[in-house]
Amino acid sequence: MNPKRIAAVVALLLLSLPFAASKTIIVGKDMPVKTITHAVYIAQPYDSIVVNRGLYLERVNITKPVVLKGVGEPTVDARKSGTVITVSCSGVSIEGFRIVNSARSSLRDYCGILCKDSRCVSIKNNVMRSDQFSIMMQNCVDCRITGNSVESDIMEMQVMGNAIHCWKCDSIYIAYNRVGHNRDGIYLEFVYNSLIEHNEVSECERYGLHFMFSHHNVYRRNRFYCNLAGVAVMYTHDVQMYENIFEQNRGGSSYGLLLKDISHGEIKYNTFSDNTMGILMDGGTNLRLSANLFRSNGWAIRVVASSTNDTIVSNSFVGNTFDISTNSSYNSNTFDGNYWDKYTGYDLDKDGIGDTPHHPLSLFAMLAERNSGVLLFFKSMLMSLMEQSERLLPSITPDNYSDNAPLMKPTRI
């Protein structure tokens, strides 16, 4: 046999030895091992611990690589006395549990599952209830949080935590989770090179998704709805958001998506529907918003003066009260090639592009930006007169907010 092939076979056998020697420990009320804590204590690295249905009143500390699997959704209850499960090593899997009743405090963070300084941890198909922070990862790499149902009944804001909270992490995969009432649904801070997809987040007291200083991440096919303040993206560069749904986020300070000091990002194929404000761009730089649908929002996009060199192209604006609003008459952003349902121009050459520019910034929107009391006259005769005046005298509004190639039909997304 080829010496190189022999060496490869020997290396493979050596690497597989820990797994080949692993065993399965059964935990149950009628079994010799009756607690998860005892099972973890007697387990060797890479052992599997199978926990039968039942109530386990304990707190679990995992310091060795093991597989922890629940059968029949066993409940681990900390009785509000601390963190329910703590993982402080790599190579751990936790699947199929109901994890409830962490402690709660305004001075310290308690969790349903806390992972710290870990690699290759999987948290899958668990039900988290009544925990201050449901799942928290600190300084973790190459971990997965998938298929969990997370909700909290804590109502006091000072002790309410986040559903999924990641700090100082890299290469985290967060997918197919259903998140209900919490402070923030998914919170990321100093998290890089991660993928967040197919999550559903609703009824949060603050943001459905909130991330800061978290670069080179991709967010796709998530749904964020009925959250008090929507979604916030802050102090981040190189972010990609595709095919997400932001809807029914309503309130005086609520947005489908807040972009605060964001640069070099792409926001594409998303739907913003029935929000107080679809997107608030505050300090956005070199962003590209394309092929998004803005439907039935109060304000589709509000652009603060500090946002520069952004490209808004191939989007569809349908049924919004205001398509564009801004606090500045100066504009360095591009608004070309979008569909506007308020456009009244013609397409005589039948090329799908309007023959005259569209001015999406209305006089009424400018007045409302300066004095919100003007909104009392919405849909009044005064507003109708303003709209007629704009059509006759387009110079009333800043001509640098114009779409020079308005589409005649909505774009497909």
pLDDT at 8 over 80: no
Structural fold of domain 20-228: Pectate Lyase C-like (2.160.20)
Q: Which amino acid is at 221?
A: R
pLDDT at 10 over 50: no
pTM, two decimals, is 0.89
Please, where are the H alpha helices in 35-109? 36-42
**Where on the phi/psi map is residue 219: left (φ > 0), alpha (ψ -120 to 50), or beta?**
beta
Structure confidence by residue, pLDDT tens digits, 304-334: 888 999 999 999 999 998 999 888 777 889 9
Structure confidence by residue, pLDDT tens digits, 83-128: 999 999 999 999 999 999 999 999 999 999 999 999 999 999 999 9
Given a contact cutoff of 8 angstroms between Cβ atoms, the answer to whether 303 and 282 are in contact is no
For residue 174, the tally of other CB atoms under 10 A from its CB is 28
Given a contact cutoff of 8 angstroms between Cβ atoms, the answer to whether 198 and 173 are in contact is no
Q: 382: helix, coil or strand?
A: helix
Calculate ∠ Cα 134-138-141, nearest 5°: 110
Return mean pLDDT, the chain: 89
Q: How far are the Cα atoms of 191, 208, 283, 302 from residue 215, in angstroms, in the given order?
A: 7, 19, 16, 24
Structure confidence by residue, pLDDT tens digits, 347-401: 998 899 999 998 888 766 666 666 666 665 565 666 666 666 665 555 555 667 8
Given a contact cutoff of 8 angstroms between Cβ atoms, the answer to whether 148 and 170 are in contact is no
* Residue pointed to by tokens 């404000």: 277
Half-sphere exposure of 163 (CA within 13 A, CB side): 34
Pairing status of strand 149-151 against strand 127-129: parallel
Q: Phi, psi at residue 293, to the nearest 5°?
A: -110, 125
**Where on the phi/psi map is residue 279: left (φ > 0), alpha (ψ -120 to 50), or beta?**
beta
Give me the residue spans of the domains in the chain: 20-228, 238-361+398-413
Given a contact cutoff of 8 angstroms between Cβ atoms, the answer to whether 237 and 262 are in contact is yes
Distance CA 397, CA 47 (A): 70
Strand partners, 265: 287
pLDDT on residue 326: 86
Half-sphere exposure of 407 (CA within 13 A, CB side): 17
Structure confidence by residue, pLDDT tens digits, 215-267: 999 999 999 999 998 899 999 999 999 999 999 998 877 899 999 999 999 99
Of the candidates 158, 150, 138, the one whose C-alpha atom is nearest the C-alpha of residue 182 is: 150
Structure confidence by residue, pLDDT tens digits, 261-301: 999 999 999 999 999 999 999 999 999 999 999 999 999 99
Determine whether 413 is exposed, middle or buried from the number of CB atoms within 10 Å of its CB (0-12, 13-18, 19+). Answer: middle
Tokens of 14: 């050596």
Q: Which amino acid is at 307?
A: S
For residue 340, the tally of other CB atoms under 10 A from its CB is 25
Strand partners, 85: 60, 113
pLDDT on residue 393: 56
